[in-house]
Amino acid sequence: MEPCPPGREVTDFQFKLFSSVRVFPAIDYQNFFNNPSNTVTASNKHGLLIVGTPTGFQIVNLAQFVSPNAAEFLNECTDYPRREYNINAQPSHIALNCDETLLSVAHQSSDNAPLVRIYKMASLTNQSKNKVVKIPLGPPGTCIMDFSWNPVIPDLLSVCVSNGCLCLYSHDDTGKKLTMLPPEKRLSQIRVRTKLSRYH
């Protein structure tokens, strides 16, 4: 095996804008999303962008934005191909697991309690019937503070709830493999390290 070439410092990165699209109608997004970056994720495996909207989420094929016709998606284009999923709620967090087979969408339920929906990416990409696992995570009046899939174990999801509870969910089709550390632990943040997850 040949040795790796020596590293070199690069400071002149250049980025080209391929397209600019408006995901939802002109609104003050800060009134809808406390942290908009938590509601955007990309799948390299499937070539998809998944982004939250005020009533759910949408899935966009990234290939169309780097194709020869990408110029038509400049200037905040609003007419672009996508699939929209209405869950009648505003997501607070959207994330893919480490092998990009599961998509999690967190939001407040109708009784103002934190809820996570787990979708199989295979059903979303081939537009088959979407089987959703719904996981209630806390009492009414609480919300999700932090949210992360394990970087090594594909079916393990960690969620911090505002009452200080840490929820560890191991995915199966029943949604019942849930372990909780009590609110007395006062956990509020998840820190992820390579092959390790630390909770504070």
Q: What is the mean pLDDT of residues 120-130?
A: 78
Position 185 pLDDT exceeds 60: no
Q: Percent of the chain, pLDDT > 70?
A: 74
Instruction: Find where tokens 């979708």 sit.
Output: 119
Mean pLDDT of the chain: 79
Residue with the bigger pLDDT between 95 and 128: it is 95
Please report which helix (H) or strand (E) contains residue 148, including its range.
Answer: strand 144-149
Print burial letters for 185-194: b (CB count within 10 Å at least 16), e (below 16).
Answer: eebeebeeee
Query: Would you state the pLDDT for residue 195?
Result: 46
Query: Would you state the pLDDT for residue 100?
Result: 94
Query: Would you state the pLDDT for residue 15?
Result: 75
Q: Which residue type sits at 43?
A: S
* Alpha-carbon distances of 79 from 20, 23, 107, 124, rounded to whole Å: 11, 9, 27, 21
Burial level of 144, CB count in 10 A (0-12/13-18/19+)? buried
Query: Would you state the pLDDT for residue 198?
Result: 47
**pTM of the shown model:** 0.78
What is the number of other CB atoms lying within 10 angstroms of the CB of residue 33? Answer: 17
pLDDT tens digits for 74-111? 677 777 888 999 999 989 999 999 999 999 999 999 99
By DSSP bridging, strand 132-136 and strand 166-170 are unpaired
Q: What is the mean pLDDT of residues 24-44?
A: 72
Q: What is the mean pLDDT of residues 151-160?
A: 89
State the pLDDT confidence band at 169, using cuts at 50, 70 and 90.
Answer: confident
